[in-house]
Structure 1
Amino acid sequence: MPNVRVERRLAAIMAADIVAYSRLIEADEARTLASIRTLRSQVLDPLIADHRGRIVKLMGDGAIVEFGSVVDAVACAVAVQEGTAAHQREVPPESRIVFRIGINVGDVVVEDGDLLGDGVNIAARLEALAEPGSICISDAAQKQLAGKTDLAFEDAGERTLKNIAQPVRVWRWAREPGPAIAAPLALPDRPSIAVLPFDNLSGQPEETYFSDGITEDIITGLARFRSLFVIARNSSFAFRGKPTSLAEIGRQLGVSYLLEGSVRRAGSRLRITAQLIEAVTGAHLWAERYDRSPDDIFVVQDEVAQTIVTTLVGRIEDARLQQVLQRPTASLAAYDCLLRGLAHFRSDADTAIQQALEMFEKAVALDPRYAVAHSYRAFVKLALSGFASAPVEVLDRAFIEAKHAIELDPLESRCHRILSTICFNRREYDQAEQHLGRAFELNPNDADGLLMKGRLMTCRGRPEEALTCLEAANRLNPLRSRWYRPFSGIALFSLRRFEEAAQAFKQTPLPTSWSFARLAACYAQLGRTAETQAAVAEILRLQPDFSTAEYMRKSVLLEHAEDRELLREGLIKAGLPA
């Protein structure tokens, strides 16, 4: 094959970005776009041309510009910041266009007029570190600038940039002397987040109480998850109205993630938006919009805050897991092992439970006082032995370890939830409900807890209440409620809604003789002979020695005699061995 010649050259790259572009567009799209067009024609394009720059790429909220020298790039960047400030002086502060700028010099790849490579990527990462109205440049650019300009850049220290192998020393310029840059706070050993005050875009300043209420409810809800490090309200609200970049807020507060959002009343509807952002890079990890009727504004506040909290925890855990998976396994810490174990546990792989146990074992070995790791280890050991059908000694050992976990950390809701599940499998229904109640006292935002409550209510003879819990769990955390369908199937069967129950059991994530037996009972009660026979054949293939009596004794956790008899009747009707 012929060699393809890659064109490379040394270039100074300027990356510019409009601060809070999404908020400006949300507040007034037409005015913002018109203002950007005017600013570009009157300020940006002339200045770039004067400094011999070439616009490589235009995005809605920024641009990549190439220069032949660092001196030209920096001079242009300073002129842009000063020219933009002058142009926007008469604009209300909340509507002003403000830029962040990053500059790097390095080798770039030229492809169809576009520029690629680390030289461009570093400039973009530096832009994300810059405060509004300021410029951040790399050490390589600073060295070429030395002695050629009177501009004063202050040393902001070495920074680790996303997807850049080596740390980069950063230099900072601002139109007005900024405060000395303190060393960034060390990140906690668990996911850390600050919730910034949601913007009130309703045009009614008196409605700020509602956007503040949403923010405070989210902070309170997240703080109940002991797996998270959550910045207190006073610290988060200190940045209200200040032109501080998200990267700088993350640096000052020492957090990995930021949540920002807005509330807007439009006619008879409320629109609430939320975005989860990685603080260092400014990357958006998750965003959602909620449209509600403001008939009962405080009910709306509670509902949206709870939905955001439960969804957010899953997204943060997923993002942290992706970071963990990029590390070599030889350097695992206890928390990393727990995350890996949870990822295995939630998968559908045949070896998932065994792999999860191995990770939880490592977590406990690394930190013998890690309460949640003890809880999950007890739980997966029980899972490997068949849950309720496990030998008594396995059930007893799981109970002892789960109790020990609560002794280690009595305020961890997950430990109470898991102990509740183990009590449930031991058919200790009152204790199961007691510990689940305690789990909800500690964290009413736990969607997994709602799922467990739904199953418990079903088996305690309250299927209508169970369906309400299960539907709420599925709504709050639709990506994680994989057992919503089979658990709802149990409730639907007790309500004699056999057709719906059959559809639910068909969606069991890991079909076994347990789920096929339930399915056979549904079809038998419906009088659908062919489907019943197919389900029975699958049961006997998986478990040739299946008997209805043993199934009811070992695997059925229905507390009330009438519910148990309805199921036993369906199994006998299906033709399964007595």
Structure 2
Amino acid sequence: MTVGGEDRRRISTIQLREMAAPGAHLLALRHGASVLREGLFGRAEDGDVLATGLAVDLTSRLSQLPNLSVTAWASSTHVAALDLTPKEAASRLGVRYLVQGTAQCDGLRARVTVALLDATDGREEWSEHFDRALPDLFALQDDITGAVIAAIEPAIERAEMQRALLTPPGSLNAWECFHRGLWHCFRFTDSDNEHAHQLFQRAIKIDPRFSRAYAGLSFTHYSRAFLDAAPVPGDDIRRALDFARQSIDLDGRDVMGHWCLGRVLFRSREHDQALGAVDRALDINPNFAQGHYVRGFIGAHAGLHAESLASVDLAERLSPFDPLRFAMKACHAVAITNQGAPRDAVEWAIRATQEPNAHFHVLAVAAGCLELAGRSDEARPYVERVMAQHPGYSVEAFQRAFPNKDEPEPRADARGSGSLWYSSRLRAIG
């Protein structure tokens, strides 16, 4: 599968007899990973079944992710028979990343260690170990495979963003332009958003059929409206909707187009349709952490408070170092407040403001939670920080960013759920 024109991320499942440290060598322009079985310990029959089963399952499951090109098992097995270092194996298979691991079984328990390796310099991008009881080998295999799949894709995405940031601007290809733009998007400032917009446009100029770049443009237009930076917010929402649909038309199996469509539909007060769009993204990739977060975010403003908390909890488990950590914690605060427990929400709201990339809306959520909890003196400094970051901030801007289902018009006496409840308190303290 091709991603971003000339660039591909490829994944292979291979077994190596030896693991030597690879040297620093840039492997063409393909980005990938290989699952390497390092060794077996304990009972050979259990270890062999587990290690081989994990490698086969990882190959199968990774091949379902639309942004990864997976090398066939037969090719991986052929390379495994050769006495190669990881760098050499990656070069033969045309991949950038390797997934290596060990399986140890003693008849009662199993320990599996898995690591994601960048074959160009031998750096570990992610690693984890799993200790499990061994009553059901296949259930154990499914459990570990699911956890590894959930971790690998965001780890590769983070590595690609960092790599793009280190690439000279004049040398960026379409894939690198996209990842550099995505890094700017997640900073949630007006200037970063405009920089991201230019990078996505550049990616499309290089590769007019790069679906994710169109999703990126949807993201930036949505952010202009969300961050109250659009002179005519409706125009940016319409453009965001158009670009999200264009992304889906180009590649309906890419989760980002559906994810962006869900966000735009939410902003357009189409909550049910928004949830449907996000659900399509999660059908494609059930381990898509940001998809679960956005489902929780929309649900928090659609009266689905318990479901919202479950979705955000899952998102945080799947991606504990996600660039949207601040938003996940803020969503926790909103959902808990909507359940009538603002005092319990305060800690989540304050923690959200302490995360990287937290924007002024998150500060406003903290102010609202504190006020609702009867802590007005503590709420006021957050309002002051909001006004310092975004002069002219208003209750109406908050309501536009966080629309409630079936409540298009704010009511001064609203005491129900979501943004209107917060808004009445923000108006009272600010």
TM above 0.5, yes or no, is yes
Count of matched residue pairs: 403
- 1:203 & 1:452 partners in 2: Cα distance? 44
**Partner in structure 1 of residue 6 of structure 2:** none
Q: CA deviation digits over 1:513-559, x for unaligned, max 9?
A: 533332233222222231133344445555675554x2564232232
Q: CA deviation digits over 1:316-369, x for unaligned, max 9?
A: 233344444444322221111111111222346663222211211111121121
Give the direction of change, closer, same or farther, for the CA distance of 1:268–1:454 in structure 2 (3 Å limit).
farther
Of residues 192, 216, 221, the one that matches 2:56 is 216
Of residues 30, 33, 44, the one that matches 1:193 is 33
Q: How do residues 487-506 of structure 1 correspond to structure 2 at under 5 angstroms?
A: 487-506=331-350
- 1:521 & 1:327 partners in 2: Cα distance? 42
- 1:511 & 1:241 partners in 2: Cα distance? 50
**Partner in structure 2 of residue 119 of structure 1:** none
Determine helix, strand or coil for the equivalent of 2:42.
Answer: coil
Q: For the Cα contact (< 8 Å) 1:192–1:229, is it kept in 2? A: yes
**Partner in structure 1 of residue 169 of structure 2:** 329
Which 10-residue stretch deviates more, 440-449 or 276-285?
A: 276-285
Shift of 1:444: 1.7
**Partner in structure 1 of residue 110 of structure 2:** 270
State yes or no: 1:162 paired with 2:37. no
Q: For the Cα contact (< 8 Å) 1:532–1:574, is it kept in 2? A: no
Q: For the Cα contact (< 8 Å) 2:43–2:107, is it kept in 1? A: no
Shift of 1:274: 0.9
Higher helix share: 2
- 1:380 & 1:534 partners in 2: Cα distance? 29
State yes or no: 1:554 paired with 2:406. no
- 1:362 & 1:286 partners in 2: Cα distance? 30
State yes or no: 1:235 paired with 2:75. yes
**Partner in structure 1 of residue 410 of structure 2:** none
State yes or no: 1:358 paired with 2:198. yes
Give the direction of change, closer, same or farther, for the CA distance of 1:351–1:302 in structure 2 (3 Å limit).
farther
Q: Which amino acid aligns with 2:348?
A: A
Higher strand share: 1
Q: For the Cα contact (< 8 Å) 1:517–1:571, is it kept in 2? A: no
Give the direction of change, closer, same or farther, for the CA distance of 1:396–1:201 in structure 2 (3 Å limit).
same
Q: Which amino acid aligns with 2:341?
A: R
Give the direction of change, closer, same or farther, for the CA distance of 1:426–1:220 in structure 2 (3 Å limit).
farther
Which 10-residue stretch deviates more, 462-471 or 485-494?
A: 462-471
Larger Rg: 1
Q: Which amino acid aligns with 1:500?
A: D
State yes or no: 1:367 paired with 2:214. no
CA-based RMSD of the aligned residues comes to 3.3
State yes or no: 1:313 paired with 2:153. yes
Q: For the Cα contact (< 8 Å) 1:195–1:218, is it kept in 2? A: yes
Q: Given the two structures, how large is their TM-score scaled by the length of structure 1? A: 0.62
- 2:392 & 2:155 partners in 1: Cα distance? 44
- 2:278 & 2:286 partners in 1: Cα distance? 10
Question: Structure 1: where are the runs of 5+ without partners?
Answer: 1-22, 25-93, 101-126, 130-160, 164-185
Q: For the Cα contact (< 8 Å) 1:524–1:573, is it kept in 2? A: yes
Q: CA deviation digits over 1:496-521, x for unaligned, max 9?
A: 23133222222234555533332233
Question: Structure 2: where are the runs of 5+ without partners?
Answer: 1-14, 408-413
Of residues 514, 517, 535, the one that matches 2:361 is 514
**Partner in structure 1 of residue 235 of structure 2:** 393
Give the direction of change, closer, same or farther, for the CA distance of 1:217–1:494 in structure 2 (3 Å limit).
farther
- 1:544 & 1:281 partners in 2: Cα distance? 46
Give the direction of change, closer, same or farther, for the CA distance of 1:553–1:284 in structure 2 (3 Å limit).
closer
- 2:285 & 2:131 partners in 1: Cα distance? 26
Give the direction of change, closer, same or farther, for the CA distance of 1:266–1:459 in structure 2 (3 Å limit).
farther
Shift of 1:208: 2.8
Q: For the Cα contact (< 8 Å) 1:547–1:577, is it kept in 2? A: no
Q: For the Cα contact (< 8 Å) 1:198–1:212, is it kept in 2? A: no
Shift of 1:388: 8.7
Shift of 1:409: 1.3
Q: CA deviation digits over 1:248-304, x for unaligned, max 9?
A: 322322222221212223465321101223335545443321223345554443332
Of residues 217, 238, 251, the one that matches 1:409 is 251
- 1:420 & 1:574 partners in 2: Cα distance? 27
Give the direction of change, closer, same or farther, for the CA distance of 1:576–1:510 in structure 2 (3 Å limit).
farther
- 2:257 & 2:288 partners in 1: Cα distance? 12
State yes or no: 1:533 paired with 2:401. no
Structure possessing the higher relative contact order (Cα contacts under 8 Å, 6 or more residues apart): 2
